[in-house]
Amino acid sequence: MERINTIGRRKQSVARIYLTPNGTGNFIINKRERDEYLNSQVQQLIVSRPFDVLEIKVEDFDIKVNVVGGGPSGQAGAIRLAIARALEKMNPEYRAPLKKEGLLTVDSRQVERKKPGLRKARKSTQFSKR
């Protein structure tokens, strides 16, 4: 089977993924190993969630990821969405369990902008009665 490529987005991050079935287990993110790039255990769990839901081994695939923008959390979410989309593209029967877990849903939440006259987006100055 040929290489499958998809895109995932989260916050300001965009992940382009190239998934090859029947691979050797290579998981490269921005020319670095997954465990080296995602130094947090939580982010590694986020990225591998689609495989856990489908009860598939990550070692059965070669995955190459190019991810730009945002921070570590947004990048992990973008990679997770891209992997879920690639697995669904590979086998349409995977759609139901992935959809049930919410892995095919784009998380469209963005940082709210700072408003003039306020300290942050919603935080105001301290109120003084006198």
CATH assignment at residue 65: 3.30.230.10
Residue pair 67/14 in contact (Cβ under 8 Å)? The answer is: yes
Task: Give the residue among 97, 81, 11 at the shortest CA–CA distance from 46.
Answer: 81
Pairwise CA distance, residues 28 & 66, whole Å: 9
Q: Contact, 99 vs 106, CB < 8 A?
A: no
- How many Å is the Cα radius of gyration of the chain? 18
Average pLDDT over residues 107-122: 94
What's the whole-number mean pLDDT along residues 94-105? 93
pLDDT of residue 22: 87
Please check whether residue 129 lies inside any domain of the structure.
no
This prediction has a pTM of 0.90
How many structural domains comprise the chain? 1
Domain containing 85: what range?
4-100
Strand pairing class (4-10; 13-21): antiparallel
Q: Give the separation between CA 17 and CA 7, rounded to whole angstroms.
A: 6
- Written as one letter, the residue type at 120 is K
